[in-house]
Amino acid sequence: MEVPVNFKGGGSFVNLPPVFSGDGESIFVCWKDLVVEYSVKTGKLLHEYKGVQDKIIGFGHCSYNSYDCIAACSEKGDITLWQALTHFRMFQKKITTKKFNKCLKTFHVIPSEGEFKALISYDDGSRAFFKVVTLCADSYKKSTLFTIENGKQDYHLSVGNTYFTVACGNRLDFVTLGSTKQLSRAFIDDSLTFTCIATHPTEEMVLTGDSLGRVRSWQNIFGKKKVQTIFHWHTLPVRTVCFSTTGTYFYSGADECVLVKWQIENANDRSFVPRIAAEINHIAVSNNNFYVAVATRDNAIRILDSTLNQITLIQQLVLGKHYDCGLTYDHRTKALIMNGNQGQVQFYSTEHMSLLYNVDIVVQNKITNERDCVMKNTEITKIAISKCGLWLATVEERIDELYSNEIRLKFWKFDLTNQKFELNTSIEYPHEKSINSLAFQPVLKNNVVCITVGDDKKFKVWGLSDASTVYKKDIMWLCLGIGFHRDLPCKSLSFSADGSLLATGFGKLLTIWTPDTCELKCSLSHPLHIEPVNHICFGTGLNCHLVVAASSNQVSAWNVLTLTMTWTVCLPVSLLITDSLSEHMAAITPDNKVYIFSPASPKLIYNSQDLLKEYDNIVAATFVPSKFSSDIRLQWYQRTPLFFVTSSNELFCLGETECMDEIAENEEVTSDGFFSKMQPHSRISMTKSSDVDKLMFEKDMGHKSIKKYLEAPIHTSIPVRFLCYSMIRSLSLQNNN
């Protein structure tokens, strides 16, 4: 069985600096193999420029045959030119040079009138080559301008109207673009390295940033004695610098999450935009100086006006530094919940593939690093949401080796009036050590309970309690019970489908409890299985009496009715996920192999041996119901596809999220045109079912006793002999008289 893997979001779209259009009303952003155009004022997606087959390493705005165009170049040397007004692709050329095959590094458009020129660079492992390429629809020509010995070091490049500048290590090279090549070179202290570079739009002036946090302006760059001016505010290495269109001031950004505006004539005259949500990667300024685009590391572009006030936010899937919380699906909003910005969780819509909103859990300003010190921030490590979607539980921790650690359990209630989550209860140190797992009881009732499993070898039951005062009625969360077993460590937990049973792993033992009373029902183990249980999942539907437990090298299925092991296989598992709408489970191994199976049998429904080798490691996954999840005619991957996130922050879907064409309803499209009468038409006679059959169908499927019998879990159902009379009576048709 071949199951498609579809890219659904994520991946950085701030690797390259954004580019404003000529009138400044739109902005272009590079995302993987696309160039995407957004509106500056509204942030609305305007157009996607497609046609590039590989990763784009550079793009820019240019003029070609009196048309405003967008040019992009892939890492394989394919240069594509689109017309910005009509979005038509004008031409695509491949630069054929064996030397830079698969190692093209940079692409910069050279401002010129009439013809299209670009500066490309590539390396062979020890040297970097820089060439000017002149393209037209029929041909192209290239000429080598400059070569440097980079010794596998990264280099930074900036292109002006008549010259370009290369910074590599502590060396700075200035090279003219004209027919008469002129070279100049400058150095800084050996202990420093250049981190970014920018050329003046009209003059022979260059800005550089270094690893000490200083910005230098270089003038008289082709003279013997170069003039330097130092602008110093940043503590951390400068990530980006950008001139204004007039060149009278510039912007700089670094990992302090602060945008700094400098005046060229006065190094002490500066303005700040503090507390930006993430580190600054790139800065771009529109041609009319009205807008400033700040690309930040959280996969967002913030558009500021000339007064440095934010007017637009273009936000893609937030690139979290980790995914300790995994992926959690919210049935109410139909969104994936995962780690986002520092101290926040994000809700990402799987229907529209867009970010819905962020929830600030920690409610603290981000502490940026010092020059010689890495600062610790509070991280969100666990997330759980109730079945109704109205309660959200989060665990936040701050690990500090020098001082005491911080552990905090918070319960958030969704306010239907204000349409946002509000903090209800905050519990300091819910466990003596870190919390390993967190889950809500899968019921729709109001008195839902929540279970936490900690490194202190205990699990705790949390429930709602009355907290009303004379001023208002309120509720809060309290600890209702504690469970432990033989002083063994516990890591994972899982509720049964109806929430009546709780399974936890204590060491190598699988234990079953009643969550309301913390009463141990049974303890299951196998003498040959000595590895601790890391993952536990209850079965659903007809397999609700089965529990699947996974260790570092074993997967086993247990029957809680007979207290026996039904099957076991040797398989290393990093993730174990269950599908709440079917009987399927997914086991993901550390080498990215995916196994889909049913708890009733070790026979595989689907397995991928090499499907995910081209991607990075899978760090989180979950089943997501599609809009056709109730259609039994579809395959499992069409009803509830498997979404997963890789270590490169990319979201993929294993399966179909749209209905297949052959399963969709056939709708006959009629045309009133003259030639439509000459086209052949097919007629399908549809005979409606009789009223009696319709009545019997509705009566059988809608009867409460039948529905109750079919949906009741097996281990809680009463004997069938007590249901015979009511079932037979419900199947018989009553006389209307």
Q: For residue 223, is pLDDT > 80?
A: yes
Q: Does 253 map to a domain? A: yes
Q: For residue 423, is pLDDT > 80?
A: yes
* pLDDT for position 7: 87
Q: Does 670 map to a domain? A: no
pLDDT digits (tens, 9 = 90+) for 139-198: 666 677 788 887 678 899 999 988 999 999 999 999 998 777 889 999 999 999 999 999
Cα distance from N-terminal residue to C-terminal residue, the chain: 55
CA atoms of 292 and 307, how far apart (whole Å):
10
CA atoms of 501 and 319, how far apart (whole Å):
36
Last residue of a domain, one of 240, 275, 310: 275
Q: Does 264 map to a domain? A: yes
Last residue of a domain, one of 275, 307, 341: 275
Confidence band, pLDDT 50/70/90 cuts, at residue 114: low
Q: For residue 212, is pLDDT > 90?
A: yes
In Å, how far are 582, 586, 596, 623 from 631, measured between CA atoms? 12, 21, 19, 16
Of 70, 62, 64, the closest CA to residue 30 belongs to 70
Q: Does 371 map to a domain? A: no
CA atoms of 379 and 392, how far apart (whole Å):
16
Average pLDDT (210-222) is 95
pTM over 0.85: no
Q: Cβ of 502: how many Cβ atoms within 10 Å?
A: 26
Q: For residue 308, is pLDDT > 50?
A: yes
pLDDT digits (tens, 9 = 90+) for 359-379: 999 999 888 889 888 889 999
* pLDDT for position 140: 67
Average pLDDT (405-412) is 96
* pLDDT for position 102: 57
CB 272 within 8 A of CB 252: no
- The β-bridge partners of 109 are 118
Q: Does 206 map to a domain? A: yes
Q: Does 287 map to a domain? A: no
Give 564: exposed, middle or buried? Use CB within 10 Å, 0-12, 13-18, 19+: exposed
Q: Does 132 map to a domain? A: no
pLDDT digits (tens, 9 = 90+) for 41-59: 999 999 999 989 889 999 9
The CA-CA-CA angle for residues 86, 90, 91, to 5°, reads 155
| pLDDT over 90, % of the chain | 61
Q: Please, which residues have CB within 8 angstroms of residue 104's CB and are 6 or more apart in sequence? A: 57, 73, 74, 75, 76, 77, 120, 121, 122
- The β-bridge partners of 231 are 215
| Higher-scoring residue by pLDDT: 137, 677 | 137
pLDDT digits (tens, 9 = 90+) for 551-591: 999 999 999 999 999 999 999 999 999 998 889 999 999 98
| pLDDT over 70, % of the chain | 87
pLDDT digits (tens, 9 = 90+) for 444-492: 887 899 999 999 999 999 999 998 887 888 899 999 999 999 999 999 9
Tokens of 627: 């809009």
Confidence band, pLDDT 50/70/90 cuts, at residue 125: confident
Q: For residue 211, is pLDDT > 60?
A: yes
CA atoms of 103 and 123, how far apart (whole Å):
7
Return the CATH number at 185.
2.130.10.10
* pLDDT for position 707: 63
* pLDDT for position 470: 79
Average pLDDT, the chain: 87
CA atoms of 698 and 254, how far apart (whole Å):
66
- Put the strands of the sheet holding 127-135 in their side by side order: 104-110, 116-123, 127-135, 140-149
Domain range spanning residue 215?
153-275
- Put the strands of the sheet holding 238-243 in their side by side order: 238-243, 249-254, 259-263, 266-273
Q: For residue 28, is pLDDT > 70?
A: yes
Confidence band, pLDDT 50/70/90 cuts, at residue 3: confident
Last residue of a domain, one of 275, 302, 330: 275
Confidence band, pLDDT 50/70/90 cuts, at residue 218: very high
CA atoms of 281 and 255, how far apart (whole Å):
9
C-alpha Rg value of the chain to the nearest Å: 31
Q: For residue 611, is pLDDT > 80?
A: no
* pLDDT for position 402: 80
Buried b (16+ CB within 10 A) or exposed e, 186-204: bebeeeebbbbbbbbbeeb
Chain mean position to CA 735: 59
Chain mean position to CA 212: 32
Q: Does 418 map to a domain? A: no
Tokens of 161: 């109207």
CA atoms of 302 and 296, how far apart (whole Å):
8
Of 603, 501, 484, the closest CA to residue 546 belongs to 501
Identity of the residue numbered 600: A
CB 259 within 8 A of CB 276: yes
Average pLDDT (94-98) is 71
* pLDDT for position 169: 92
* Strand intervals (E) in 377-417: 379-385, 391-398, 406-415
pLDDT digits (tens, 9 = 90+) for 654-687: 886 554 444 444 434 444 443 444 444 444 444 4
CB 184 within 8 A of CB 222: yes
- Total of domains in the chain: 2
Q: For residue 11, is pLDDT > 90?
A: no
pLDDT digits (tens, 9 = 90+) for 624-650: 998 887 777 888 888 899 999 998 888
pLDDT digits (tens, 9 = 90+) for 232-287: 999 999 999 999 999 999 999 999 999 999 999 999 999 999 999 899 999 999 99
Phi and psi dihedrals of 709, rounded to 5? -70, -40
| Higher-scoring residue by pLDDT: 116, 700 | 116
